[in-house]
Structure 1
Amino acid sequence: MSTPVNLDTIRRAPKVLLHDHLDGGLRPQTVIELAQRIGYHDLPYTTPTELGKWFVASADSGALERYLETFVHTVAVMQTREALVRVAAECAEDLADDGVVYAEVRYAPELFQEGGLSLDEVVQAVQDGFRDGERRAAEAGNRIRVGTLLCAMRQNARATEIARLAVRYRDTEVVGFDIAGPEAGYPPTRNLDAFEYLRQQNAHFTIHAGEAFGLPSIWEAIQHCGAERLGHGVRIVDDIAAPGDGGPELGRLASYIRDRRIPLEMCPSSNVQTGAAESIAAHPIGRLADLRFRVTLNTDNRLMSDCTMSSEFAELHEAFGYGWADLRWLTVNAMKSAFIGFDERLDVINNVLKPGYAQLVP
């Protein structure tokens, strides 16, 4: 008899996370303590409960630009080595406590230099924090491996510099590169030099595309820049005929993405907050999964969306009736799409994911 699917049992299932922002996942208490330590007085609330509620309410704006404004406070308190180590360590612990066994967590090093840290010092601090968090999680009986994606902010002009940084640290669990920030007005093609450099170096990269902007952003990310994965990619549904129009007619871009098995890093709760989807039940993830795109499930920003991987899975169970087979499929999709070696991915799939789900579905 299968274990019932609910939030508590989902937390026991091994999970894989590919799209999670370090500066979007702080504990409210940590934000407050770090702010007090550096004399930052601009927080709207100084109690964890009220501050956590404020982040979620402010992110529920229906616009990506307003959503991004909430990061002013988290970034402000992450300008020292001590803060970066602590935030990264707690991130690893929190994910592991939720049953995540492999995670790729991203951040933009250029945002954390206001206190005088060099780019290298920022990366070294975060990597040290992740290793500390992995060790503490293991001591608590929760094993996790965390890889890092370095982001360049698409509205700035430092993409090639950050791409070189990612390559320089790729032997220390920096597994890839990304561009983030507002899509409208800042197409991926602004950063072609960075992507060309990464391809020359045989380095991995994903691109935020198809979240707040439509098909042109996705097309550029794939065809001009060569993205291996799409951050969000939710607007690819615009290239698929609506139900009732004679069946699921896939346009050429949608067909290409499905045929090439290009992973979609989908973040339902975040997409509802930014207006990319009206609700979880209306989120394109359901249709794209039915059409067997390479769909993966992710958190995006756990603080702003008040979510975990387990709660995101529970939302899909409630909205679409997903059972263990569906949750396992999404999880294996993510592990297949990770930016680590093939043998390493296969080891996690065969020796962690499959046995873990077998315990839930005898």
Structure 2
Amino acid sequence: MTTATQNLLPGTDLALEALPKVSLHDHLDGGLRPATIVELAAEIGYELPAGATDAESLGEWFATQANSGSLVQYLTTFDVTIAVMQTRDALVRVAREFVEDLAADGVVWGEIRWAPEQHLQQGLSLDEAVEAVQQGLDEGVEAARGAGTSLRVGQLVSAMRHADRGLEIAQLALRHRDTGTVGFDIAGAEAGFPPSRMRDAFELLADEFFPVTIHAGEADGIESIRGALRDGHALRLGHGVRLLEDITLVDEGEMTRASLGRIAEWVKDRGIALETSPSSNLQTGAIAAWGDAMEDHPLDLFTQLGFRVTVNTDNRLMSATTLSRELRLVAETFDYDLDDILALQLNAAQAAFLPVEDREALMDTIIAGFEEHA
């Protein structure tokens, strides 16, 4: 979703959109343009929510519905986006526009996650769905480069936690690993659907040395994170904010000491990235145990303790946001400067599902871009 409003780094006239950025946690079905939904819905005769028949009112509806404090309620908004993403042409268009919007936001590497199994209602096969999205991504990259913007993207193929198709979707991801798919994820309702339900899928992926990120520590607690690491062999944690449950803070006069449990220590010591999504984490109640405002988000504490923290959008449509906006909100809340924003981007580049040489080149690109605006 594009925006004409620039997000300035607090205390400066620097637009964050101008800085090279990395997006690791961004859902395809959560990043449609409202105008596109209106047009696609009209083409298939899909009835939009009452009162949300134009792009502006529909965008407002998504933001209002998503701001529920519950992941389960938040996920109901996807009924609308998924409904209009059931044909090849629709998937190509949505994917193409998604990349165009990333380019407009200054993203130079983007990983785009989605669940192909949710897009088969009009007869597409799993492979056809993946191929359609890849075509759209390729077209978006080509269009961006034609406009003078260079970026790369990759698919993260997700399996829905409740659907028991994990092995099938893992095999799908592996079939497309050389044509644009860079990793595997599981998504959907977290509580009650642990990674152990898909252990066979994760064992296959481990055998094939294929990268995995898992939604964990968002709508469920530390045991969910344990399962992501142990059963899912996760290299990154989708959100992961409830890792704070494994950290004890003790006030010692003017100082506060942090004591890390074994899981938190493991995540920190091995540089397992936390894919935080500040606005979304507030909307879904992921940090409700600690508060309901941005200053209550644990990402700054994680940063101070040395965790590999990244900032992401999760769902740009539902949170009415961009990566630049999320970084502005974080900078405003925690008094971050340009060096802090750079550190977050280097964290994300280091955690990208890319070969090490490509990650190093990506970090060089980011550093050069930030130096240009320093």
Fold match (TM-score > 0.5)? yes
Residue 21 of structure 1 corresponds to which residue in structure 2?
27
State the distance in 2 between where 1:243 and 1:280 align: 22
Could you tell me whether the CA contact under 8 Å between 2:99 and 2:141 is conserved in 1?
A: yes
Segment drifting more, 275-284 vs 245-254: 245-254
Residue 146 of structure 1 corresponds to which residue in structure 2?
153
Could you tell me whether the CA contact under 8 Å between 1:7 and 1:311 is conserved in 2?
A: no
Residue 184 of structure 2 corresponds to which residue in structure 1?
177
Mapping of 1:128-139 within 5 angstroms?
128-139=135-146
- Verify: 1:324 aligned to 2:334, yes or no: no
Residue 333 of structure 1 corresponds to which residue in structure 2?
347
CA deviations on 1:87-108 (whole Å, 9 max, x unpaired) are 0000000001000000000000
Q: Secondary structure at the match of 1:249?
A: strand
Q: Secondary structure at the match of 1:293?
A: coil
- Verify: 1:252 aligned to 2:265, yes or no: no
Residue 48 of structure 2 corresponds to which residue in structure 1?
42
Residue 271 of structure 1 corresponds to which residue in structure 2?
281
Q: 2:126 aligns with which of 115, 119, 124?
A: 119
Give the Å deviation of 1:359.
Answer: 1.0
Give the Å deviation of 1:269.
Answer: 0.4
Tell me which amino acid in the other structure corresponds to 2:369: G
Give the Å deviation of 1:41.
Answer: 1.4
State the distance in 1 between where 2:127 and 2:183 align: 16
CA change 1:358–1:73 in 2 (3 A) is: same
Residue 4 of structure 2 corresponds to which residue in structure 1?
none
Q: Secondary structure at the match of 1:304?
A: coil
Give the Å deviation of 1:244.
Answer: 2.0
Residue 100 of structure 1 corresponds to which residue in structure 2?
107
CA deviations on 1:215-246 (whole Å, 9 max, x unpaired) are 00001111222111100100001111135265
CA change 1:219–1:6 in 2 (3 A) is: farther
- Verify: 1:76 aligned to 2:89, yes or no: no
Aligned residues: 358
State the distance in 2 between where 1:179 and 1:94 align: 24
- Verify: 1:304 aligned to 2:318, yes or no: yes
Runs of 4 or more above 4 Å deviation? 3-8
Q: Secondary structure at the match of 1:149?
A: strand
State the distance in 2 between where 1:126 and 1:57 align: 28
CA change 1:154–1:7 in 2 (3 A) is: farther
CA change 1:116–1:70 in 2 (3 A) is: same
Could you tell me whether the CA contact under 8 Å between 1:153 and 1:179 is conserved in 2?
A: yes
Q: How well do the aligned residues superpose, as a CA RMSD in angstroms?
A: 1.3
Q: 2:305 aligns with which of 288, 291, 312?
A: 291
Could you tell me whether the CA contact under 8 Å between 2:69 and 2:284 is conserved in 1?
A: yes
Q: 1:60 aligns with which of 67, 70, 78?
A: 67
Q: Secondary structure at the match of 1:305?
A: coil
Residue identity over aligned pairs, in percent, reads 50
State the distance in 2 between where 1:114 and 1:59 align: 24
Could you tell me whether the CA contact under 8 Å between 1:102 and 1:145 is conserved in 2?
A: yes
CA change 1:264–1:7 in 2 (3 A) is: farther
Structure 2: segments with no counterpart, 5+ residues: 1-8
Q: Secondary structure at the match of 1:142?
A: coil
Structure 1: segments with no counterpart, 5+ residues: none
CA change 1:296–1:168 in 2 (3 A) is: same
Q: 1:207 aligns with which of 214, 226, 243?
A: 214
CA deviations on 1:25-65 (whole Å, 9 max, x unpaired) are 00000000000011111333111111001000000000000
State the distance in 2 between where 1:53 and 1:261 align: 38
When normalised by structure 2's length, the TM-score is: 0.94
Give the Å deviation of 1:261.
Answer: 0.8
CA deviations on 1:9-32 (whole Å, 9 max, x unpaired) are 211010000000000000000000
State the distance in 2 between where 1:129 and 1:280 align: 34
